[in-house]
Amino acid sequence: MLPRALLLVLAATLALRAGEWKNYGKNLTVKEETKISEILAHPDKYQGKKVKVRGVVTNVCPERGCYLNLKGDKKFQQLQFKVDDGVIVFPADAVGREAVAEGVVAVTTFSVAEQKEMCPIEAKALDPKFDPKKIKGPMKVVRLDGLGAELKN
Amino acid sequence: MAGRWRRWNAAIHRDIGYLAAGLTIVYAVSGIAVNHVADWNPNYRLGERTYEVGPLDKGREESALAADLAARLQLKVPPRAAFQPDEDTLQLFTKEGTYSADLPTGKVVFQGLRPRPVLLAWNRLHLNAPKGLWTYLADLYALGLLALALTGILILKGPKGILGRGAWLAGIGAAIPAAFWAWWAWLR
């Protein structure tokens, strides 16, 4: 009798959580959302600025949960939200869920040596064609230095 | 008097040791696991399958392509979302994993991650994924380790104590990270 009651409570709790938003990292403070396409079109204008973006999660660091990629509002576009290891740990099952994320826009150019030292999984998430054996030159990356995010259950 | 404080020291060392044993195992095992993250995924098992669904017309809208691909894959539950990272690729995201279709060839690769139940939990605790209360519990554990180290070096007196053989061993233990850092940071 008791196990059944517990299962019912658990099922009800899970049902109530469906559709809820779960917070990771710092609380979101920026009021207006910025389109990912706008940031990618004018990265220098947004560099160093704190922004809030929205998109479907297309990729999560499967090892440390230290980044997630967000689908842009225009075709073929995505923006990476990156934190240092352990600051936020995103679950692998975040892929495909809607996210609202806040961070500071960073425009970084990785030298050949830096690319060779990069985590290959992270590099591949930044550039799906990345191959550590075929690095030709510097890689310019626009991404968010992540502060906080909310994921829809 | 000297004997009394040493008895207290040993008792504190013993009891903190008992208290810290469980979490030490958690941190030690997950420490090894996440240390070798470049060689394996300590949190998830990767499952991979391939399908052939025939070429898909990439001239269509993403939503139409996604519906077509889901139908060809005979997915019973609609995908959470779809994404085209480039014009030749379409990804369907499901609860179980991601289907990546090469549109010109119709070859689809499914990649799903299944959690390693115990290791995932231990690694998440090690990396302080829960934050909040766990931060303070982990701080308490770190203070416990500090107490273990300090009380440990004072347990024995005499030639095997910290003024004898213990000094050499403690010195070697402290020198290893210092020497490694000096080499890694400045000499290599």
A95, part of any domain: yes
pLDDT of amino acid A12: 65
Res. A15: pLDDT tops 70: no
Are B36 and B95 in the same domain? no
A67, part of any domain: yes
Contact yes or no for B44 and A71 at CB 8 A: no
A121, part of any domain: yes
User: How many distinct structural domains can be found in chain B?
Assistant: 2
pLDDT of amino acid A16: 58
Comparing CB atoms, the residue among B46, B98, B115 nearest residue A95 is B98
Asked if A50 and A102 touch (Cβ cutoff 8 Å), the reply is: yes
Are B8 and B30 in the same domain? yes
Q: Give the confidence band of A85 by pLDDT, cuts at 50, 70, 90.
A: confident
The residue from B115, B132, B159 where one domain ends is B115
Q: Residue B66 is part of which domain span?
A: 44-115
Are B126 and B89 in the same domain? no
Comparing CB atoms, the residue among A57, A76, A92 nearest residue B44 is A92
B99, part of any domain: yes
Q: Give the confidence band of A17 by pLDDT, cuts at 50, 70, 90.
A: low
A89, part of any domain: yes
Are B99 and B50 in the same domain? yes
Are B50 and B111 in the same domain? yes
User: How many distinct structural domains can be found in chain A?
Assistant: 1
Q: B15: distance to nearest CA of chain A, Å? A: 30
Chain B CB within 8 Å of residue A62 CB: yes
Q: What is the DSSP string of B23-63?
A: HHHHHHHHHHHHHTTTTS-SSEEEEEEEEE-----TTS-HH
Are B100 and B13 in the same domain? no
Q: What is the pLDDT of residues A108-145, one digit of tens each?
A: 999 988 888 888 888 888 887 788 888 888 989 999 99
Share of chain A above pLDDT 70, in %: 90
A9, part of any domain: no
Tokens encoding B43: 């949190």
A127, part of any domain: yes
Chain B CB within 8 Å of residue A19 CB: no
Contact yes or no for A63 and B79 at CB 8 A: no
Are B64 and B104 in the same domain? yes
A104, part of any domain: yes
B184, part of any domain: no
Are B51 and B109 in the same domain? yes
Are B35 and B53 in the same domain? no
Q: Residue A144 is part of which domain span?
A: 21-152
CATH of the domain at A139: 2.40.50.140
3-state class (DSSP) for residue A147: strand
pLDDT of amino acid A136: 84
B133, part of any domain: yes
B179, part of any domain: no
B177, part of any domain: no
A119, part of any domain: yes
Quote the strand ranges of chain B, DSSP E. Answer: 44-52, 81-86, 89-93, 98-102, 107-115
Contact yes or no for A86 and B81 at CB 8 A: no
Contact yes or no for B81 and A76 at CB 8 A: no
Q: Give the burial class of A56: count Cβ atoms within 10 A of its Cβ; 0-12 exposed, 13-18 middle, 19 or more buried.
A: buried
Rounded Cα gap, residues A23 and A94, in angstroms: 12
Which residues of chain B register pLDDT less than 70? 1-2
B175, part of any domain: no
B98, part of any domain: yes
B181, part of any domain: no
Are B20 and B69 in the same domain? no
A98 C-beta neighbours (distance < 10 Å), count: 18
Res. A36: pLDDT tops 80: yes
Contact yes or no for A58 and B93 at CB 8 A: yes
pLDDT of amino acid B78: 93
Q: Which residues in B lie closer than 8 A to residue A85 (C-beta atoms)?
A: 127
Comparing CB atoms, the residue among A76, A89, A92 nearest residue B84 is A76
